Amino acid sequence: MGRLHVLAAALPLLLIAAVSAERSNNDLLSGYSTPMEGSMAHKFFALAADQAILANATTSQVSRSQRVGDDDEDHPVYDDDLCDRDLIRIRDAIANTEEWALEFPDTWGRLPMGLFWGHTISMGQYEECVAATNTYGDEIRGQYCLATLNITMFYKDVKKRGEEFQSSRISYKQTDPEIFELGICIPSTCRPKKTDALLKDVISHFYGDDVVSMDVDMVTQTRCKYDAPITLRGIDIFAIIFFSTIVFFMIASSVYDYIQTRKKAPKRPLLIAFSVLHNAPKIFTVKKVNNPNVIHCLNGLRCFSMMWVVFGHGYMTFYDLPHINRNKFYTWVETPYSMLVQNGSLCVDTFFFMSGLLMCWGAFRELERTKGKLNIPMMYFHRYIRLTPVVAVVVLYIMSLYKYSGEGPMWFKLGTQDKRCEDSWWATLVYIQNYAYPYHICVSQSWYLAVDTQLYFLSPLFLIPLWKWGKKALIPISIFGLICLAGTFITFMLEDFTLFRVQDDHVDLRQKMTYYPTHTRIPTWLIGVIFGYFLFTRNRGRQIPLAKVWVVVGWTVAFGTMLADMWGPYWRILPGTPNSPLIEGALFEPLSRSSWALSIGWIVWACYNGHGGLINDFLSWSFFTGFSRLTYCMYVIHRIVQLVNAARLQTDTHFSNYDAILRWWHDFGITLTASIFATLAFEAPILGIEKAIFGGSKSPPKKPSPGDLAKSAAPEVKEAAPTASDPAPAPVSGSSATVETEAEITPSPGSTTEELSKV
């Protein structure tokens, strides 16, 4: 009698397999995607229900209850018995064409279309799946999972194109796809491990064992999600209270500021620190200042470099999107346009150059004001207190509210920033993440802040000798810079790093050893320091005349060098070009950075001395002055905006430059808006509080005599505000005249390099 029950239970399973064997043998990779009963999704529920019936007939209740805890997925909703019940009910309701049940297979991703153009994901309908629920009886809810199918077995049998295929696209990164990701919808009571077994059975029954590898997990807990009540953690509650408190302070401070203004009564600096009415004009109000301590063209350079950073990082994220033509990337990298991204890291060297220049200029102004005394502890304190609040807020957001910022199939793949911060958050707040956690930096772009801060802390080793001994100190400083250049060269040679990053098989190691380390960035920064020394001691307050022919030569050499740094190696990436020798990449990496910095130095010098013409007029445009006050916050925030926007996607995209630029504007606009809020809520208030606590404005430095020029001084790189014309975030305080003299030359938020901290 028992055997009869087993045969009766197995009969539907055998019948389904026999009827659909011929029709569906090759459906998995043929593009067959009918939403009706012949689709894989419908077959899944039919076969899963039959297996559940068979299991119920052959397994005792005791053994089934023991199976409930078989795996390590401790979850209150998962239950094997309820899963089997729900699968049977869905199968029966589908046969009865009930809408609620049809939603389950309807939300599944359809099998490959565009697979041979790199389209290796079919997400299905995430929102429809997690919202799916039955209309009667015990509740059945949908659970979305992004299954990973290993298709190497299928693809190895594909007969590749002939040689003409190889000439149509580069081959060094062109590899056969290994996985296909498929969105599936199952009852929320089904464990991922059980679903994984069922999915493998379905594929094996209908498509055989020679298409998809059955040796790896297809469905995992980390890639499954169903609609569940939000449970706030302690850090989430703290973040909500913190951000609410900041908004309250902004409102209360603005109301106080407004009332005192109407009454024409004096205002307490601490009480207006958070006032939007007080801080906003410092961002958006621009006054043209004719001051020898102002290098106006730096604002334009800073803004364009910031836009370039967002542009380059945008392409990095854009590549990871679910493009229906993803293989177009392999021909895109052959285009001259792509070099703007591939060599886009040169904009980092612009920032390091400006950081060194402004740090030297600012420190010399302070040394001049204090007659050669530099309060190093206070200089470090000001730097940290002005740089850290915005970074700390972003870290707090990532570790708390970030996980609630989006959901969906791409969130499983890209929405993982909070995981990177679990161990490395503290290193980000003390600016050592580039050495401590180079493989998973919490705020990925904050490696620059770490390098810039470390260089700032080392700066007295260079500033004091320059102040005391002048040009005599340049020799050891230059030798030290050359040693650092040689270090990068030797690292490339020993580690076999290639000319192009996209060609390298060890990109993470390359970043760790030659991109993130402070010692590899010292040469460019020192060029800025040396340039700032000569500009301050020999050039401040006057314009050096230069014959027109030499001006033309200077601009030609500068632009020619920049073009060579950007597009010089382009021919090496073309398909018919032989691979570059190891030494070529080892020389190009350090020398391109240094030569780029020297070219930027010419632009700054020419514009400051009246040889910039239209270029100086454009870079010194007052619009860039206001914009530059937001660039520090933009740098810290933009990457999170890009990742959230990308991870929230639930539909396919298309790879093209036009689509990338549209996405850039999208990301840039949101970043700009968020940066305005961050500047008003965190950066500007900190400057106001600092000024209220540590003292008011300092009188502008006296006009130096020619003899004093060699020893000019600059505020502790911190006290002065930043940028080339006013404090970047708009310092706190006093008269506009004071702001104009103290914040003109220092980088962004108060520190000589704060705004520079943007790359």
Q: Which DSSP string do the residues of 422-483 spell out, in sequence order?
A: HHHHHHHHTT-HHHH-TTS-SSGGGHHHHHHHHHHHHTHHHHHHHHHHGGGGHHHHHHHHHH
Compute how many other C-beta atoms are within 10 angstroms of the C-beta atom of residue 66. Answer: 12
Task: Report the DSSP pairing between strands 121-122 and 179-187.
Answer: parallel
Q: Write down which residue in 195, 226, 257 finishes a domain.
A: 226
Question: What distance, in Å, lies between the first and last C-alpha atoms of the chain?
Answer: 75
Q: Does residue 537 sit within a domain?
A: yes
The residues, any chain, with a CB within 8 Å of residue 554's CB and separated by 6 or more, are 546, 602, 606, 611
d(CA 71, CA 80): 11
Same domain membership, residue 556 and residue 407 = yes
Q: Write down which residue in 694, 716, 743 finishes a domain.
A: 694
Compute how many other C-beta atoms are within 10 angstroms of the C-beta atom of residue 114. Answer: 16
Same domain membership, residue 680 and residue 571 = yes
The residues, any chain, with a CB within 8 Å of residue 680's CB and separated by 6 or more, are 250, 276, 279, 280, 283
Coil, helix or strand for 607?
A: helix
| Alpha carbons within 13 A on the beta-carbon side of 155 | 16
- pLDDT of amino acid 407: 93
Same domain membership, residue 656 and residue 523 = yes
| Alpha carbons within 13 A on the beta-carbon side of 372 | 9
DSSP H helical ranges for 216-296: 234-263, 276-284
Which two three-digit tokens encode residue 313?
């990082």
Which two three-digit tokens encode residue 553?
């030569």
Pick from 502, 731, 757: nearest CA to 638: 757
In which order are the strands placed within the sheet that holds 224-226? 121-122, 179-187, 142-150, 224-226
Same domain membership, residue 222 and residue 291 = no
What values do phi and psi take at 697, rounded to 5?
A: -75, 150
Q: Write down which residue in 226, 242, 273 finishes a domain.
A: 226
Same domain membership, residue 308 and residue 170 = no
Same domain membership, residue 605 and residue 484 = yes
| Alpha carbons within 13 A on the beta-carbon side of 205 | 22
Same domain membership, residue 453 and residue 597 = yes
d(CA 677, CA 688): 16
| Structural contact between residues 759 and 724, judged by C-beta atoms closer than 8 angstroms | no
Same domain membership, residue 584 and residue 465 = yes
Same domain membership, residue 330 and residue 211 = no
d(CA 315, CA 265): 52
Question: What global pTM score does this model have?
Answer: 0.84
Same domain membership, residue 188 and residue 311 = no
- pLDDT of amino acid 63: 47
Same domain membership, residue 474 and residue 331 = yes
Q: What angle do CA 691, 693, 698 make, to 5 degrees?
A: 45
d(CA 204, CA 214): 8
Q: Does residue 24 sit within a domain?
A: no
Q: Does residue 358 sit within a domain?
A: yes
Say how many domains are in the chain. Answer: 2
Q: Does residue 466 sit within a domain?
A: yes
β-bridge partners, 133: 141
Q: Does residue 587 sit within a domain?
A: yes
Q: Structural domain of residue 147, as residue ranges?
A: 40-56+76-226
Amino acid sitting at position 395: V
| Structural contact between residues 455 and 525, judged by C-beta atoms closer than 8 angstroms | yes
d(CA 415, CA 647): 6
β-bridge partners, 323: 653
d(CA 563, CA 581): 22
Same domain membership, residue 300 and residue 219 = no
Q: Does residue 739 sit within a domain?
A: no
The residues, any chain, with a CB within 8 Å of residue 87's CB and separated by 6 or more, are 45, 48, 49, 52, 186, 187, 190
Q: Does residue 243 sit within a domain?
A: no
Pick from 731, 727, 722: nearest CA to 753: 722
d(CA 262, CA 570): 62
Task: Report residues of the chain scoring pLDDT below 70.
Answer: 1-38, 57-76, 161-173, 695-759
Write down the number of H helices and E strands in the chain: 32, 4
Coil, helix or strand for 347?
A: helix
Which two three-digit tokens encode residue 194?
């059980």
Which two three-digit tokens encode residue 565?
């740094």
